[in-house]
Amino acid sequence: MRLRQLCAGLFAALALAGGAVAVDLEKGKEINGTCAACHGEFGAGGKKGEYPRIAGQRVNYIENQLKSFRARTRVNIPMYPYTQERELSDADIKDIAAYLTAIELPTEMPTFVGTEDALTRLLMVEKVMIIPRAEGDIEAGGNIYQKQCASCHGKAGKGRGMFPMIAGQYTTYLNRQVDLFRKGDRPHDEETVGGLLNALDEKQIQDVLAYLSSLREIKE
């Protein structure tokens, strides 16, 4: 029910903001059936970060990345069949992006009141996403993050505009993307990012990852 309410609110916001912009959330749910094979039914990702979390991600970011996969300006071979063979239209991309961004994943195990049946309890637990705490100096990582990263990704890592939410993301996935940016193998909207990341040593990057993994409640 909460997802439906969030989706309805998102639909209204998009309609007001863009006038002619409309999203079909049922179509988005249908498309997510394909995404779920790797990213899970609720978009939580899987295989300890081999597949990233996409639930709750910034809608603009999801749209941008899917278009980049479709145009092959972002190299990701596993994604090519889903964006090329399925021939995702711009409307499809808007639908799946709107659907995914509205999904909320709890960061703590639910409290049961005792009246739930086994299936209900299982479904409640399945949506919980807890990122294991990464090794590193959390305080030092927080200082670096606020100085170097927060202007784009937000003070709490929720992202801004075209920049993704990185709090609540798998550490292994983030580390892999950092490596790709530093090597120049993944393009970035901000030309300065590669240089910024290359200015950090391995310990500093690990400290930032530790800080991000410590953010349980994603609030600004």
> pLDDT tens digits, residue range 128-161?
888 889 999 999 999 999 999 999 999 999 999 8
CA distance 34 to 77: 16
Query: Are 88 and 147 in the same domain?
Result: no
Instruction: Output the pLDDT for position 8.
Output: 47
Instruction: Output the pLDDT for position 46.
Output: 87
Instruction: Output the pLDDT for position 4.
Output: 46
Q: Which of 38, 73, 101 is where one domain is finished?
A: 101
> pLDDT tens digits, residue range 160-187?
988 999 999 999 999 999 999 888 888 7
- 159-191 b/e with 16+ CB inside 10 Å = b? bbeebbbbbbbbbbbbeebbebbbeeebeeeee
CA distance 66 to 61: 9
- Asked whether residue 155 is assigned to any structural domain, the reply reads yes
Instruction: Output the pLDDT for position 157.
Output: 94
Q: Which of 101, 123, 147 is where one domain is finished?
A: 101
Instruction: Output the pLDDT for position 194.
Output: 57
Task: Pull the structure tokens for residue 156.
Answer: 């709490």
- Provide the β-strand partners of residue 160: 163
Identify the segments of the chain with pLDDT beneath 50.
Answer: 1, 4-5, 8, 11-12, 14-19, 219-220
Q: The CATH number of the domain where 162 resides is what?
A: 1.10.760.10
- Count structural domains, the chain: 2
Task: Pull the structure tokens for residue 125.
Answer: 């637990």
- Asked whether residue 51 is assigned to any structural domain, the reply reads yes
Query: Are 158 and 73 in the same domain?
Result: no
The maximal CA–CA distance of the chain, rounded, in angstroms, is 55
CA distance 209 to 206: 5
By residue range, what is the domain housing residue 187? 138-213
Query: Are 16 and 85 in the same domain?
Result: yes
- Asked whether residue 195 is assigned to any structural domain, the reply reads yes
